[in-house]
Amino acid sequence: MSYFVFVDNSNVWIEGKYASAVKKGWVPNVAVAHSSHILDNAWKMDFGKLLNCITCGGTNHIKEANIFGSKPTENDTLWNAMERAGFKVNNPHRNASNKEKKVDTGTVTAIDRALFKQAKPGDTFILAMGDTDYVPIVQNIKGEGFDVAVAFWNNVSGELAAEVTKFIDLTPHIDEITYTGE
pLDDT value, residue 91:
61
pLDDT value, residue 80:
63
Sequence-separated (6 or more) residues with CB below 8 Å from residue 29: 22
* Ordered structural domains, the chain, with CATH: 3-11+43-177 (3.40.50.1010)
pLDDT value, residue 93:
57
User: Please, what is the angle between helix 103-113 and helix 135-143, to 10°?
Assistant: 0
Quote the strand ranges of the chain, DSSP E.
Answer: 3-8, 62-68, 88-90, 124-128, 147-152, 166-169
Whether 77 shows a pLDDT value over 80: the answer reads no
Work out the average pLDDT over 35-41.
96
pLDDT value, residue 72:
56
Angstrom distance (rounded) from CA 88 to CA 162: 28
Angstrom distance (rounded) from CA 68 to CA 169: 20
Q: Which SS3 state, helix, strand or coil, does residue 3 take?
A: strand
**Between 136 and 103, where is the model more confident?**
136
Read off the pLDDT of residues 104-162 as tens digits, 9 standing for 90 and up. 677 888 899 899 999 999 999 999 999 899 999 999 999 999 999 999 999 999 999 99
